[in-house]
Structures are given as structure tokens and as C-alpha cells.
Structure 1
């Protein structure tokens, strides 16, 4: 990754510090800039200037850091880390900080270490840099998308009457890892029957019965990059109502997806899908059409009725219209696409026709 890219979006900072705390406060920008495949890098830092990038970490992560080829400064105890940060920043007046990923306690620690600096929020600059994917990032996301797409066929074989939502969710995760995923990119959603009307449902012990919708929202993590896919099926023969709901969602997805290309406004893409759904099921499409995908499964806003967002080449976004009817169930179809100058490339390839199990 070209670490200098971030400075294209920020002019005021002399240097940028990415500062990690414990396991729950790790900034993924650390891995975006270093490309580190291994390691957690708790209590580590990254010091980035227009001319250099350096990892500051403990001996615990020395081997993982060496794999990156980036200059690494090793410390044995906390006081040594603080001394390294002071020394490496002594000639800089303004320090860029990713405020959106920094806890208050980490910020206070940094202020104590280098109190004479002017701290600048560069979180928006980092976000802008991460929106446009580099070729190596696209390859990782494509691999994550392929793993997820292929895993569905394996998981479908495990679906039978009486299986619970949690059991099927575990089968989906297992299938992805067998195919090369590091793990799921988020907690897999499996919802049966009326539970499928809850977009962010957590799978439980409900058992599958004939006539149920089967909604699976899942993704693979591959070398720290995510995919995000949703497919909705019917266990047994679908009713006419279920078919109508499904075909409406499928039409909304296809027509909105067909309009995607660089230069288009995400708000207008959302409006295409929303108008198709609202004509038959007014008010039943209750979320945005799509979001960015990258190191985070929700990498950035993208296709939303309330967000003015211009699509650019090599962004990766989801297209996921849905219809949700309480006490009946819901349908969502979600795919990941790469934005191109002339249109898009769909990288998730799981079947999109209604599957009756």
C-alpha cells in the first residue's frame, strides 16, 4: 500500500500517528498501511510521514512486523515505546490522529507523551484514501467474495427440517473457512420464517419448518478484507406471496445495479430500487441500498437516500434491497460490486434466482 496516499487528502499534518491500544481498540488503518498479514499489534504505533513509515511495536510482534518489510522499532517495556515516539516526532509540530478510531484514554496517553504537538483530526482523510481500492486490495476482496459465494452451495446441503438458525450459521462459517477464509467477516445472520423480517437479526434456536423463508447474510474475511452477501430461500414450495416479494426485490436489485458506474450519485441509485419496491410494498424497504466494503464490512456510506455520494472507479459497494413484513418474513438479496468507469463488475456469484429447498 502506498502510505503517501493519505497525504493527498491532508495538507496540514507533518506526520500521522496510528496508535493502537488493547484488542478492542486496534485501528484497522494500521493494517491498511502496513499490509501486515499476521499479528494483532496491541499497544503498537505507526509513524507515517510523506517520506517514511515506521512500525513501533514490542518483541511479541517482531516477527509479524518483519514480514512487512517496513522499518520496525522494537521496545521491551512501555517507557521505551514512549521514548521512541517522542524521539521520532521531535522535529514535527503538527501530528495527524485518526480520531474516529481512537479512544479517549489513548488520546490522553498521546497528549502526555508529546504534549507540545498540535493534534489534527485526519480521520476523514484516511476514510477518503480507503474508499478507493488499490489493485492488491481488489484481489483480496475478490477472493473473499469468491469464498463466500462458493460456501453457500456447501452450506445449502446441510439445510434440513429441524435444523436451528444457530446450527446453520455455524455451517456457513465452517464452509467459508474450509474454502480459505480467515473467518467470517461479521457474525453470520440466519433467520427463519418471520424472523427474516428483522434485518439485523441474531440467530437463535428456532427450528426450520416447511414454508419458512431462509435468509442468510454472511461474508468471508480473507487477508483482513471482507465480503458481504445475502441470499433468501424458501424451505419447500414458495407461496405466491413469497414469490412476489422475492421477484420484486430481485428486480429492484438488478435495475439499481445496472445504473451503477463512476460519476453516478449513490442517492440516485438507491432511488431506483426504492421506487420499484414502494410501488408494491410501500414503506417496507427500511434501510439504505448499500455501503462500501473493504477492511471493514461497513467501510463507508455509499448508496443511501440521505447521503450525497459520488461513486468513483475502484470503489467496492454492496447492492442489497429488501422487503420486510412483520409476522410474514423478509427478503434481501445482496451482492458486492466493483465500480468501473463504464458500469460495474459483480464479484459475488451465488445464484440469484429463487431457490426452493
Structure 2
């Protein structure tokens, strides 16, 4: 197969090589093969091929980018990409010393990966992979080509690699969060009596896109309904709106929820949102580097139990970054299916956490706040912190 070899004179990884090498040493891996878009993006310093940004399938197969990294040997790293990525390399050379842009499918990528291990004489290496992101045909082909290699699940190693954000990553997460809240507040203000959920969601998509975000999703409720799917339900005077959206800024996800009301909030609505914010503030009070992850959960849940609306209110907390649920993992199967392995570990500076409290009120509807915070040495920094009260609908000119 054709291969374009990068012209980088000295391999300079765009990530914390010492930290990744230490994580690999702890897991006893000689190599990592990244196959997910988010880990490939991380190891390539933020690069994401635009042609396959919204899809993977092409022809009879799929786009399968691979980054091969050897512990302590960035000079032997390789990137395996699609044929069209040769132009990307010409414009902004990839840092990996070896570059293969000759693939059109998963089997092509697997063959080039095996060829790389043969070329450097490491066909018997201990290799960490991403089982959830390496297609079965590529995995079988790789195992057949490298029968002496030992292959292991490296999902946790990749998650630990991304857990601490760099200043550049924090800037992108802050930007994503700020732009999402701006978009949500503009959407609430522009929505009026009679605006349907489908129209409001489309409005939010345009607001986010016009601000440079890639729209990911919108979960929307109106009135007393708890149904967050798009529909022709229309907003009525006096009703609340819960608008929960994820937007992607250069690969980094912002995920927040804000509340709107068509008219003026009555005293009950003010009290209900205050209950939610009190739980949020309790969680924030325990967030700082060195605090145990479970302390955040314990404090929030203890405050929730004192709430008059505790019977229909829930608290949740999860890590944020290139994907919407990543390390630190603080709660078990609540609601996403994973173990809360970080509950009994200390929080670390530059972790990013989503904190959310949801009330399914039987009469007033779905009331929620979701906030994104970065862990600092002495506490936390909140991203996208505007609009946390009741935002009035129908106020845009």
C-alpha cells in the first residue's frame, strides 16, 4: 500500500508524553492504538478530518483513523488515515514521524497497522486498544497479522490520559459553554406563544451554528410535560421551558441547561428554581483539587434530602471534555451505564465536571440547571455561567 511518510524532523507530541508513558507503564502496555475519533484527535493535537466529521461510512466499509504510539518512543509513532488526508498533511504536517494516507476502509487501516509493527520489529508487543471503537473485521485482521502480540483493553488508560485538561482544552470548553448559554438565552428570548418545540430546537441549532458551534442536540420541554423530544407542542403563556443542549467547539463539548418562562415567574417557580440552585451550590462547595469525588455527591444528596421537592428531584455529576461523559466518573449507573470509579479518588486540578439537578415537578413540569465547572487548586471556575435564573420568553425585538 502507498504510504506518505511525514517530514517532521523531530517528533514532538502535542500531549503530556511523560504522563501518558506513566499511565502505560502502570497498565503494562508497550503500545497504544487509538481508533476512536476523540482519542485520535487528542493524540494528534486537536486535528479532526472534516470530511468524516459527521459520518464514518464510505463504500462497503468505514473511515478508521489510527494513531499508534509506543511508550517512550514518539520517534516511532504513526498515523494511519484516509487517502484524502494527504492534502491535510501538506497544509499542516502531522507530528507523527510515520504517516500512511492510503486507506479507504477498516481492513486497509488494520493492514497498515500490522505493517508498522513488522517494520519496527515489535510484532510480539503488548498492545492496548479501544474495543468499543475497533471494528470486528479490523480486530480480526490485526490479530491474524500479529499472532504473537498480546492485545488488551486500554479504555481506562485513554480515559485517564484525557482527564486533566490543558490550558488550550480549558479555553475550548469555556468557549463552548459560553456560546451555548448565549445561544440558549437568545432562543428563549426569540420564542413566543405558539412557538413549537420543533421550531425552538431549529432556532437553537441556527443560534449555535452562527456562533461557530457544531450543534449536537437539544432536549426541550414545555409546560407540565416531561417529554424532551421534538414535537409540534406549542409554548403557552405562563409555561416554563427547559432547554438542555450540547454544542461542539473544535471537538470539545459544552453541555448546559437553562430555564425560560413565557411571562413572569410566580413565587412557586422562583422557589422551585431556588431549591435546585441550592443543591447545585452544595455540590460546588466541595469541588476543589484534593477533595474526594464522593464528597461532592454526598453534600449534594444531603442537601437534596432537605428539599421540599426531594421526592421528584435528582442529582447527577459527570466528567466533561472531548465526550460528554468522561473521567472523572463519580456516580455508578446514574443514569449512564458505567462505574463511579473516581468517587473514592481525589479530584485533580483541571478536571472538568458537569453538575446537574433535575426536578420532574408533577404540575409545573421539567425544571433543571446544568452547569460546567473546572476544578482549580482552591475551588472551581464555572463556564457559561449566565442565565441561571428565570429567562423571559418573547422579549427579543
- Within a 5 Å distance, the mapping from 1:1-357 to structure 2 comes to 1-2=14-15, 4=17, 5-11=19-25, 12-19=28-35, 26-34=36-44, 35-39=46-50, 40=52, 42-49=63-70, 50-52=72-74, 53-66=77-90, 67-71=92-96, 72-75=99-102, 81-90=109-118, 91-92=121-122, 93-181=125-213, 183-184=214-215, 186-195=216-225, 197=226, 201-279=228-306, 280-288=308-316, 290-304=317-331, 307=340, 308=343, 309-357=345-393
Residue 366 of structure 2 aligns to a residue in which SS?
strand
Counterpart in the other structure of 1:23: none
The Cα shift of 1:261 comes to 0.6
Root mean square deviation, CA, Å: 2.3
- Segments of structure 1 that go 5 or more residues without pairing to the other structure are 20-25
* Partners of 1:317 and 1:192 in 2: CA distance: 27
Q: What is the number of equivalent residue pairs in this alignment? A: 345
Residue 297 of structure 2 aligns to a residue in which SS?
helix
Task: Tell me: CA distance 1:237–1:202, structure 2 relative to 1, closer, same or farther (3 Å).
Answer: same
Contact 2:188 2:260 in 1 (8 A): no
Residue 314 of structure 2 aligns to a residue in which SS?
coil
- Segments of structure 2 that go 5 or more residues without pairing to the other structure are 1-13, 57-62, 335-339
What are the Cα deviations for residues 220-270 of structure 1, in whole angstroms up to 9, with x where unaligned?
Answer: 211111111100122223233322211101121123213211122232212
Contact 2:109 2:138 in 1 (8 A): no
* Partners of 2:112 and 2:16 in 1: CA distance: 20
TM-score, scaled to structure 1:
0.88
The Cα shift of 1:81 comes to 4.5
* Partners of 2:218 and 2:195 in 1: CA distance: 16
* Partners of 1:178 and 1:222 in 2: CA distance: 12
Contact 1:311 1:339 in 2 (8 A): yes
